[in-house]
Structure 1
Amino acid sequence: MTRTAHRIRNLTTAAAAAAGLLLVATGCSSGGDGAGEAAGGVPVVKKGKLTTCTHLPYPPFQSEQNGKVVGFDVSLIDLVAKNLKVEQKILDTPFENFKTGAFLNSGECDLAAAGMTITDERKKNVDFSVPYFDATQALLATKKSGVTSLADLKAKGKKLGAQAETTGESYATGKGFNPVAFESSDAVINGLRTGQVDAVVIDYPVVQGWLKDKANADQFALVENISTGEQYGFSVKKGNTKLLAAIDKAITDAKADGTYKKIYEQWIGPLPKAQS
């Protein structure tokens, strides 16, 4: 997608990207250099590790707490790593690279896990796991804006924001908006706080997490749920069938034995019956 001239870059993220990949380890230090094989002959880019590319922060899917990256996605990939008898290692990378599979193709990562919607466009560059999460978008507005829906936002000429390179941004553009694009979810909520925008379109679970904070709940309101039929998937380099099969098995087994439900309730909330 062509980037809007209104893009506001998160300087910390940009600096990290410019300096190279920022390593945030969820396990021990990266022992063993070079590629290797995990259990079952699954190839890994670092011996003894399952290296995951993500983009921080994006709670409740992945965020740093007390120096450790945790979240819904992290917990699910930990299941994969356990089955493969390796440890998960996380790299914080720019989100736009997930569409192209750049860090998968370059051998920096084994997989990408970033609350990422499965789309036909992205399937051209990466292979996706079975869906692991049914997602919806949400419109969050400042209470002082008086906005009650996307249509109302447009009628009042208010400013809309979204996270860059996401399906939320694509949805807003498809509805005729020219959204202010922010580099991270933190930048999105800060854009609301500072009055750069009056409302934002972003994944509903992210909004749900924000509104648990009383200061956010006092200032902002969820004014519209937007059903888009989106599903999240983990991605691997095209043709990496062994790792893809291992990821699919971990997701399927977790749904069958109740582990998925426990992880969902820990990070998201009550599991909808349709997903149980």
Structure 2
Amino acid sequence: MPHLRPATRVLAALAAAAALTLSGCGSDDGGSSSATSDGELATLTPGKLTIATGDPAYSPWVEDDKPESGKGFEAAVAYAVADELGFDKADVTWVRTTFDAAIAPGPKDFDFNLQQFSITDERKKGVDFSSPYYTTVPALVSVEGSKGADATDLAGVKDSLIGVATGTTTLKAVEDLVKPSQKVKIFNSNEDAVQALKSKQIDVLAVDLPTAFYLAAAELDNGKVIGQLDTSEGGDQFGLVLPKGSDLTAAVTKAVDTLRENGTLDELAQEWLADKVDAPVLK
């Protein structure tokens, strides 16, 4: 290496320091950093985290329509993400939006929003998504008194007449895991399948778990979620929605990834989507 004169060495050192400073301030995508100059995340309101959910918000995602309680799967996930980002519960502010307004392009009044938004390429054109905090699983729903409605394991529904909508991954899960003794009855749509359950043309309906919760609570008289099937293959992935190009997207995604890797998301799903609502994983 050639010998540098003192002045040259000083200039080289200054250039290297400047390069390090610039590289530390930039973001991977060339956009602005997710932190302000004092190290705080660049949230909608400095020092606060504004989280949105639906109006109303339903169990088991939010209990009693009170997300601030932290009760319910998505309310609990929201506070877990906030904690990873460095926000105390007292620093979280909740707002409400419709589902459609949240995923429409344009300015938002929240830092992130969660109300069972499936991550799709079409939606990504208008908003950002975090990495997935939940992947839907198939579930079995029925009505009290139907064959298989009181089952506690796969053997208990094996001889039931099970219905499923065409074009879903749920059919394969039923055939592979339940191995029903009767041929699964396939319908053109979920609406047709629900009507068949109501009219007792089938004993049990296989849908994704969020749909099962909704049907049991709102559509079916004496509806009951029998349980979940032990697979997430092909299920929809739910992500936190952020404004398009948000400075927080990377930080929020990192927080969700940490919660997935350390088992927190699985623990919350077990607590709120299995134990609390009596929707066990059927074996």
TM, length-normalised to structure 1: 0.53
Verify the 8 A CA contact 1:148 1:224 in the aligned structure 2: no
2:101 pairs, out of 97, 101, 114, with 97
Q: Distance in 2 between matches of 1:264 and 1:229?
A: 15
Structure 2 residue aligned with 1:57: 57
How far off is 1:65 after superposition? Answer: 6.1
Shift of 1:113: 0.8
Please tell me whether residue 48 in structure 1 is matched to residue 47 in structure 2: yes
Corresponding residue for residue 273 of structure 1: none
Q: Is the 8 A contact 1:139 1:223 kept in 2?
A: yes
Q: How far is the alpha carbon of 1:57 from its aligned partner?
A: 2.1
Instruction: Write the distance in 1 (CA, Å) between the matches of 2:266 and 2:107.
Output: 34
TM-aligned CA deviation for residue 137 of structure 1: 5.3
Task: State the identity %.
Answer: 26
Please list the CA deviations of residues 124-161 of structure 1 after superposition, one character each: whole Å capped at 9, or x if unmatched: 11111111111035564546899841369xxxxxxxxx
- Secondary structure of the residue aligned to 1:149 is strand
The number of residues matched between the two structures is 192
- The within-5 A match list for 1:77-156 is 77-82=78-83, 83-85=85-87, 87-101=91-105, 105-136=106-137, 138=139, 140-142=141-143, 148-150=162-164
Alignment correspondent of 1:155: none
The answer (yes or no) to whether the contact 2:139–2:225 under 8 Å persists in 1 is no
Q: Post-superposition shift, 1:205?
A: 4.5
**Matched residue, 2:16:** none
**Contact map agreement 1:205 1:268 (CA 8 A) in 2:** no
C-alpha displacement of 1:120: 1.4
Higher strand content, 1 or 2: 1
1:167 maps to what in 2? none
TM-score normalised by length of structure 2: 0.52
Give the C-alpha shift of residue 63 in structure 1.
Answer: 3.2
User: What's the offset of the Cα at 1:99?
Assistant: 2.8
Q: Which runs of 5+ in 1 are unaligned?
A: 1-35, 153-174, 181-187, 194-198, 271-276
Task: Write the letter of the residue equivalent to 1:50.
Answer: L
Pairwise mapping of residues 1-276 of structure 1 onto structure 2 (< 5 A)? 40-55=39-54, 56-64=56-64, 68-69=68-69, 70-82=71-83, 83-85=85-87, 87-101=91-105, 105-136=106-137, 138=139, 140-142=141-143, 148-150=162-164, 176-177=188-189, 179=191, 203-205=208-210, 207=212, 218-220=222-224, 228-240=234-246, 242-269=247-274
